[in-house]
Structure formats: structure tokens, C-alpha cells
Amino acid sequence: MTRLTVNNEAVEYRMAPDTPLLWALRDASNLTGTKYGCGTGSCGACTVDVDGRAVRSCQLTLKAAEGAFVTTIEGLSRDRGHPVQLALIADNVPQCGYCIPGITMAAAALLKHDPAPGEAAIRATITNICRCGIYPRLVEAIQKAGRAMRGDERLPAAPRPGIDPVDAARRVPALDPAQPSRP
């Protein structure tokens, strides 16, 4: 059995020691914000924070993670209030959203160690793949998050998750049978 601290909670996984951390998080802990992308560590969709470092969880076995402190996107901020999340939202970075949890975790780890990264440092560190092409906005958003973390900039609060049912659909008046149908 492997013991870790995941999102500040002690966890004991009863899985094979060679199980990738990704599958322990997703399948055993139901932390599905960490995405499976390639399984080879190339895309970064599965990036989590392990002891303060951005790690591709598909490449880290439970045995190798024994005793580690792991933070997933769910543990970064329950209310989407982490500066990286707020900056990504403020700069309209997310497109389809599949890569965003991994990118967010990689950026948060970068800013822990370098609160004012330049463009070159961001591009060298954030090697996650995004098929939507968010890269031009991503650099500025990460720098904005760094400024917010240093207290040099204020970010707007994140919108509440989900869509209010009233906003999700409009009621259309029933067609009057006396009116001719429209093509």
C-alpha cells in the first residue's frame, strides 16, 4: 500500500506499486480534473504538483510517489480563486479546456519558484501541448498571475461555475395551431 498526501488529505492507495499516479488520482480518488492525454509524458495534460514540482502524473508510479505531497487542480483552489486560474480566465485563455488543468498546475509550480518569470522562462517551463493554440495569451496570463501573487496587480473574481438554468435555455412560446407553420 502506498501512502501519500493528496490535496492535504492522507491517502493510502491499495493499488499495485507500479500504477501510474494519474490512474490512482482519477480512478481511486475520483480526482478527474487531472486528464489523461498521451500516456508518455509528452502532452502535460496530467500535470500535478508533487512536492512543489510540476510532474507528469502518467510517468510517476505510486511507488516513486510514496510519502509525497500531491496537489491536483481540485486542490489548488476549490473556488477557482488561485491567481493562475483568475489570470487565465481574465485573459480568455481557455478554449476547449482539456489541457488547462495541467497548464494551470505547471504555471502554479513555476510561479512558486520564480514569481516574475520572463517570456523565455515561461516558454521553457510550460511545455504542455494545447491543440487550440493558446500560447500567445498564455505567456501574458502567467505573467499577470505572477504580478497578482506579488501584489502588483488585482484580478477580477472568477465567475461562479456552471450555468444558471435560466440562462441555459430560453422558453419559446408554443406555436399557435391557428397560425401557419414556418418552414
Grid coordinates of 80:
477557482
Q: Torsions phi, psi of 155, nearest 5? A: -110, 145
Residue 78 confidence (pLDDT) = 82
Q: What is the CA radius of gyration of the chain?
A: 20
pLDDT in tens, 34-52: 999 999 999 999 999 999 9
The residues pairing with 5 across neighbouring beta strands, listed in sequence order, are 10, 69
Q: Which of 97, 112, 178, 177 is nearest to 146 (CA)?
A: 112
Enumerate residue ranges in the chain where pLDDT < 50: none
Q: What is the pTM of this model?
A: 0.86
- Interatomic CA distance for residues 183 and 165, integer angstroms: 29
Residue 102 confidence (pLDDT) = 97
CB 128 within 8 A of CB 105: no
For the four alpha carbons of 165, 169, 171 and 177, in that order, the dihedral sign comes to: negative
List domains and CATH numbers for the chain: 2-74 (3.10.20.30), 83-154 (1.10.150.120)
